[in-house]
Amino acid sequence: MGQPPSPSRVALKKNTPMKGFKGFEKNSDGTLSCRDFTYEVGKTYKYDGEIGLCKRGFHACHELHQTWYFYPNNGDNVFCEVECGGHIIEGEEGDGKFVCSEITILHEVDMSGVEVFDYTGYFHEGYAWVRKRDNCNHIGTDGKLLSKKWWDDAWSFYEGYAVVRKGNKRNHISTDGKLLSKKWWDDAVDFCEGYALVQKGGKWNHIGTDGKLLSKKWWDGAGLFCDGYAAVKKGGKWYEIDIEGKVTE
């Protein structure tokens, strides 16, 4: 399964209150917990000391759906809208998480009507893979399923396509839930610069977003495209091909 990139750090901010969302475990007495710290709705908490992203302070996310990676919407966890202030550090990109030195738990979010899942992956390009029991699918930021079809496994979207697995075969699906190819491959890799790697019988090729193979040649090994070129291996030697599938000098 795909993992979120390490969030980049930006300058420390002061006195810039902003709202966000936070996930919790619900305790038997009605209080909420996150990393062994107890919270109550309507109360404000202040962190005395230096804060650090993923280290110290109160953490929250900009959007509700971003909290599901850390606290899956599995029916047991609780989600609240919060207001954050004091000192704030946030990532430039990634999982949407930020840390603050002051947090107010405003109210619990009504999750009725939002389907529950055992686990939710990292959102990328507007979708995240989800797992329910032994099956996988994708959801949008509204929590709705991308497809009526469930897969044995699923990965994050890259350049509008995600790898899915059925049995021991793999394929790509688009953001409308449709399969890229009628053929299922022994292996498949994410798209990069308009092409993805697919494997058949131990040999590799590249497939485009039109579902067509780049070349009639199958290689012993191959890499993703970078700056318009990809490495390919044949007979123990490595070569370089362009986006037309031609071997360069």
What are the pLDDT tens digits along the chain (249 aa)?
Answer: 444 444 444 445 556 789 999 999 999 999 999 999 999 999 999 999 999 988 999 999 999 999 999 999 999 999 999 999 999 998 766 688 999 999 999 999 999 989 999 999 999 999 999 999 999 999 999 999 999 999 999 999 999 999 999 999 999 999 999 999 999 999 999 999 999 999 999 999 999 999 999 999 999 999 999 999 999 999 999 999 999 999 986
Domain range for 163: 119-242
**62, 77, 108: which is the final residue of a domain?**
108
pLDDT at 90: 85
Q: How far apart are CA 14 and CA 179, in angstroms?
A: 48
Sign of the C-alpha dihedral computed for residues 99, 104, 106 and 107 taken in this order: positive
**41, 74, 108: which is the final residue of a domain?**
108
SS3 state of residue 12: coil
pLDDT at 92: 65
62: in domain: yes
Does 123 lie in the same domain as 235? yes
**75, 108, 141: which is the final residue of a domain?**
108
39 within 8 A of 24, measured Cβ to Cβ: yes
Q: Where are the beta strands (DSSP E) in the chain?
A: 13-14, 18-26, 32-34, 37-39, 44-46, 58-61, 77-90, 97-108, 119-120, 127-132, 135-140, 153-158, 161-166, 169-174, 187-192, 195-200, 203-208, 221-222, 229-234, 237-242
113: in domain: no
Q: Total structural domains in the chain?
A: 2
Does 138 lie in the same domain as 40? no
Q: How far apart are CA 82 and CA 105, in angstroms?
A: 5
Does 103 lie in the same domain as 143? no
pLDDT at 16: 75
Q: How many CB atoms lie within 10 A of CB 174?
A: 15
Does 208 lie in the same domain as 178? yes
Does 124 lie in the same domain as 55? no
95: in domain: yes
Does 216 lie in the same domain as 138? yes
Does 236 lie in the same domain as 177? yes
